[in-house]
Amino acid sequence: MSILENLVCPVCHAPLEHTQTTLTCVKCRQTYSINRTFPDLLVGARFEDDFCECLWCNEENTGRFLSENYLAPLFTRLQENARHRPAKVLSIGCGVGTDVEALCERGFDAYGIDSGNRSRYWERRKQPERYAVANAKYLPFENESFDFIVMGCVLPHIGVGNDTYVTQPDYVEQRARTVSEMVRVTKKDGYLIVSSPNKRCPLDFFHRRSVSSHMPRLHWPWESFLLSLNDYRHFFLKENGCRRIDVMPLRGYWGFFSSSKYLLGKILQLPVRFYFENILSWRAFGFIRKTAVNPWLILLIKK
Ligand SMILES: C[S@@+](CC[C@H](N)C(=O)[O-])C[C@H]1O[C@@H](n2cnc3c(N)ncnc32)[C@H](O)[C@@H]1O
């Protein structure tokens, strides 16, 4: 199914009338364009990330691996007793969009939105009609539209200037608005799966100084760019009334594609893989995932 059939005005949430090239809100008369089959409902600024073929091709593998090995099995388990199928999924800040593609192949009714330049890669996707340009702060969907929301490493990039690690003065308000939009479009009893590096862990393996560098970024555990479990609890539980947050095991999340390309990387990844896939994933050690020794938070949030 096309994302067009699911879209409403991102400002007032009224239905849209569409021609081949434009979408017009029936209520506020705001118009939006359709560029090369992709509806552009962006309200506010684009996310101006630099084009990086090497990183984005790697993300194509990572997104597919994530959906096949982590998201699809998790959603299937959570859906066991549900009546309606296939489950409807929205990936917010889906980047190159392979997570959506792989979920569709596994029978989910999945869609992706993004406000940045990785959207150039959507033309490569098997079902390009499932993507739209939109801002996570103004989602173009009706209330309670999705069973599952996926957000992989996006919230730290909201409220920062031009793909940097420097937050803007109103970054808390921008993130709060994003979370309330995410919760608004999630069905009652639906789930949100949100991940990002852990602010409390001073080693950030996921935002390196350059693509060629393999050194983690060192940071203070109170910096404003990243979020901690407490920050997420504040936004989702306290401000938006979600019912619970579980910190999930890491096994199956990362495919370690970039470090698998060269011998030293293959060797160095062994202890990291053991740590992620065993120590941080064993049920008995669940409590340590909530602490500063866990570099990557994967949160399962129940609305
Ligand atoms: C680190 S990338 C993660 C991409 C993908 N989720 C993944 O895990 O590979 C962050 C993504 O968030 C998107 N993004 C940043 N701010 C956004 C916003 N306000 N609305 C929608 N997407 C946003 C960027 O364009 C980028 O694709």
The DSSP annotation for 153-194 comes to S-GGGTTBSTTSSPBPTTHHHHHHHHHHHHHHHEEEEEEEEE
Question: Model confidence over 267-288: pLDDT tens digits?
Answer: 988 999 999 999 999 999 899 9
Separation of CA 35 and ligand 1 centre (Å):
19
Question: Model confidence over 85-117: pLDDT tens digits?
Answer: 799 999 999 999 999 999 999 999 999 999 999
Separation of CA 116 and ligand 1 centre (Å):
7
pLDDT at position 83 is 62
Mean pLDDT value across residues 181-197:
97
pLDDT at position 264 is 86
Whether residue 151 contacts residue 94, with contact meaning beta carbons closer than 8 Å, is answered with no
pLDDT at position 230 is 98
Structure-derived torsion over alpha carbons of residues 126, 62, 292, 281, reported in degrees to the nearest 10? 100
- With a 6 Å cutoff on the Cβ, whether 63 touches ligand 1 is yes
Domains and CATH numbers, the chain: 38-302 (3.40.50.150)
State percent of the chain over pLDDT 70. 97
Question: Model confidence over 123-144: pLDDT tens digits?
Answer: 999 999 999 999 999 999 999 9
Does 80 score more than 90 pLDDT? Answer: no
Separation of CA 73 and ligand 1 centre (Å):
23
pLDDT at position 164 is 85
- With a 6 Å cutoff on the Cβ, whether 156 touches ligand 1 is no
Separation of CA 293 and ligand 1 centre (Å):
25
pLDDT at position 85 is 76
* 3-state SS, residue 88: strand
For residues 297 and 194, give the distance between their C-alpha atoms in angstroms, rounded to a whole number.
8
Residue 236 in tokens:
């989702």
Separation of CA 225 and ligand 1 centre (Å):
14
**Closest ligand 1 atom to 62 CA:** 9
pLDDT at position 184 is 98
Per DSSP, which regions of the chain are E strands? 16-18, 22-25, 31-35, 38-40, 88-92, 109-114, 131-133, 146-152, 186-197, 203-204, 217-218, 244-247, 296-302
- With a 6 Å cutoff on the Cβ, whether 94 touches ligand 1 is yes
- Smallest CA separation from ligand 1 atom 27, residue: 95
State percent of the chain over pLDDT 90. 82
pLDDT at position 158 is 97
Mean pLDDT value across residues 4-26:
97
